[in-house]
Structure 1
Amino acid sequence: MVFLDKDYWTDRYSSGKTIWDIGFASPPLVQYLDQIENKDIRVMIPGAGSGYEAVYALQTGFTDFHILDFSKSPLERFVASNPEFPMNHVHHENFFKHEGLYDLILEQTFFCALDPSLRIMYAKKMQELLKQNGKLVGVWFDRDFDLDGPPFGGEAKEYKDLFEKYFEIKTIAPCYNSISERLGSEVFLILENSKI
């Protein structure tokens, strides 16, 4: 099965098989967004799904927040529920073909949805999409799964080995404010694009 196929993800949304959807904005990302004083920075969340973090960002004053998803289904629901969100900030496309420059990209269950063979491409594309000194911030699983995926697991050392080639690693630590179901199985990363 090709996990990057948009029909696969649309089927997951249509059939309600969205175990990654926690129903609200991710607490680690909310806490990180709350610390940002400049609400005019350009932010993107790939694989945004239901876009809870985007709604939170809009409600708290962010003016240039973008969401991207390969599947049209969750984006259509998002737009219908959030008509005040700028339509030109909603991107229905393949992440690897997306063009733009961002100050901040947020990671929440996107990396683990990609086949592990795409992880180097992910790191390179993230570096390409971030401005000089822009940051990739979020949570990654720190565990393996007893299934073929997605989600696909990983561990902190693997992420360090992968990302240090493309970014300056500012933080890589156990995520202390994960949702209860994921507590102890996630790491929080802050990666800075200072290696251009």
Structure 2
Amino acid sequence: MQEMLNLSQNFWTNKYETNKIGWDLGEVSPPLKNYFDQLQNKELKILIPGGGNSYEAEYLFNKGFHNVYVVDIAKQPLNNIKLRVPDFPDSQLIHANFFDVDNQFDLIIEQTFFCAINPKLRAAYAAKAFELLNTNGKVVGLLFNEPLNTDKPPFGGCKEEYINHFKPYFNITIIEESYNSIQPRVGRELFFRLDKC
């Protein structure tokens, strides 16, 4: 395994400044859009960690979910959200490390963040998500279902690995191949829902 890059604020800021954001779909991910369209409680307090340009947050906010929070270690994507959605509250665009967030949420949305952190932090991610969720809280999102890189993001994985990280904290309600991924990710993504134990 090659030496791991330093995945610091500077690393991610540089990605945005040089427009090397290949993970960015430019729109809400279809599996998540489908999930959002089924949500009825618009009072849900939702966190999108490592949200980047977060078209998911934009979509939710425009549907009337006004308790959406985005946290990112880089400032530029948060500014980008504000440019697209001027009414998005500044206090809900959090420039911080996910692991430093101190709040409570009903729902955490996972979209290309888990694959971007150092894989050594995956167990800590599961523990932090558990800590941040209210009783009956959920984590819902997408995970890559292939090996990918070992020295830089995105880092892949498999269903069995993910289950091992999450099962100490969550009931795994669903984790299966996504049927409605964008074309380049067909057969490469797992859609999952975790319910806090």
CA distance in 2, matches of 1:137, 1:78: 21
SS of 1:111's partner is coil
CA distance in 1, matches of 2:23, 2:185: 11
Q: With the length of structure 2 as denominator, give the TM-score of the two structures.
A: 0.95
What corresponds to 2:156 in structure 1?
153
1:2 equivalent in alignment to 2:6:
yes
SS of 1:112's partner is coil
CA distance in 1, matches of 2:180, 2:84: 27
2:178 paired residue among 164, 175, 178: 175
CA distance in 1, matches of 2:150, 2:102: 33
1:12 equivalent in alignment to 2:26:
no
SS of 2:115's partner is helix
What corresponds to 2:66 in structure 1?
63
For 2:166, the aligned partner's letter is F
CA distance in 2, matches of 1:119, 1:185: 19
What corresponds to 2:127 in structure 1?
124
Question: Which segments of 5 or more consecutive residues in structure 1 lack a partner in the other structure?
Answer: none
CA distance in 1, matches of 2:50, 2:161: 22
Shifted more, 90-99 versus 142-151: the winner is 142-151
Check 1:113–1:146 CA distance in 2 against 1; reply closer, same or farther (3 A cut): closer
1:30 equivalent in alignment to 2:33:
yes
1:83 paired residue among 80, 86, 91: 86
Give the number of equivalent residue pairs.
193
Contact 2:149 2:156 in 1 (8 A): no
CA distance in 2, matches of 1:44, 1:152: 22
For 1:160, the aligned partner's letter is I
What corresponds to 2:189 in structure 1?
186
SS of 1:113's partner is coil
For 2:164, the aligned partner's letter is D
For 2:35, the aligned partner's letter is Y
* Identity over aligned pairs, percent: 44
CA distance in 2, matches of 1:114, 1:63: 27
What corresponds to 1:135 in structure 2?
138
Q: Can you list the C-alpha shifts for 1:32-86, whole angstroms capped at 9, x where unaligned?
A: 1111111111001011111201110011111211111000011112212221111
CA distance in 1, matches of 2:40, 2:150: 41
CA distance in 2, matches of 1:97, 1:146: 26
Contact 2:181 2:189 in 1 (8 A): yes
Shifted more, 140-149 versus 27-36: the winner is 140-149
CA distance in 2, matches of 1:158, 1:77: 34
SS of 1:24's partner is coil
RMSD over aligned Cα, in angstroms? 1.0
